A = this chain, B = another copy of it.
């Protein structure tokens, strides 16, 4: 499944795989100063960050960190995109989130010192900055604005996890796929008032997000296409009838029983 990592791209030292390097390069400085979490930070704060941060590059599909590992580094995604996933005992993949450039992960272990709760995979080639737990905590103590932002992000994670639990507990598999499609939609960059998904993840990846099977996702997509609600053209899915899709996602099963 995972490619054996070949360290060719973006590595200047042949032979030694230089995956970790200090962030004191012009590239690192610029990227970190502009990073959303640190936007508007004082010079002192930025100094702490730049002094402690390291850069790490990784290639598509590389496993950046894995569950149960006893490490607490916080990772900032400067370029690329990562997926946070877990595997069931039987090997089924469950995806928690996709973090694009500008996001960060790994803060849970940094905050409570416990092992990693999930695996993180690079969706594509990535440039990451890392901070040790000690440095991250220093940062939180030093800059209350950043501490507040981190806390807000934790709250956002809880809210979305709670939503997900509600979805898993109460929606049908089809509905969960509808919901996932709705979550992934972005405004069409050319046509206004129109929505699309690009690039469309593989059906297996969508299935992992919606906690169902690849086949079910295929059936849902076929049905949507047949009903002219969404249309797939190679790597993009055009949403033709948003209202109808939302209706499908929301329609409550004729249940009515209040227990």
Binding site for B on A (CB under 8 A): 1, 86, 88-94, 96, 108, 111-112, 114, 117-118, 141, 144, 147, 150-152, 154-159, 161-166, 168-171, 204, 207-208, 211, 214, 250, 252-259
B165 close to A91 (CB less than 8 A): no
With beta carbons under 8 angstroms apart, the residue of B141, B161, B252 that contacts A161 is: B161
Q: List 29 A-B pairs, Cβ < 8 Å.
A: A86-B166, A88-B170, A88-B255, A89-B170, A89-B250, A89-B252, A90-B252, A90-B255, A90-B257, A91-B257, A91-B258, A92-B169, A92-B257, A94-B169, A108-B155, A114-B159, A117-B162, A118-B162, A141-B144, A151-B151, A151-B154, A154-B154, A157-B158, A161-B162, A164-B165, A168-B168, A168-B211, A170-B211, A204-B259
With beta carbons under 8 angstroms apart, the residue of B1, B161, B211 that contacts A158 is: B161
Copies of this polypeptide in the complex: 2
A162 close to B96 (CB less than 8 A): yes
**A-B contact sample (8 more), CB < 8 A, given A90-B170, A90-B253, A165-B211:** A88-B171, A89-B170, A90-B256, A91-B257, A92-B259, A96-B165, A108-B158, A207-B259
Q: Nearest 6 A-B pairs (CB), nearest first?
A: A88-B170, A90-B255, A89-B252, A169-B211, A161-B161, A168-B168
Given known pairs A91-B258, A169-B92, A255-B90, the reply for A158 and B164 (CB within 8 Å) is no
When distances are taken between beta carbons in the complex, the residues of chain B under 8 Å from A89 are 170, 250, 252
A140, chain B: closest CB distance, angstroms: 8
A103, chain B: closest CB distance, angstroms: 15
Interface of A is mostly: helix
A110: nearest residue on chain B (CB-CB)?
A: B155
B154 close to A158 (CB less than 8 A): yes
A259 close to B214 (CB less than 8 A): yes
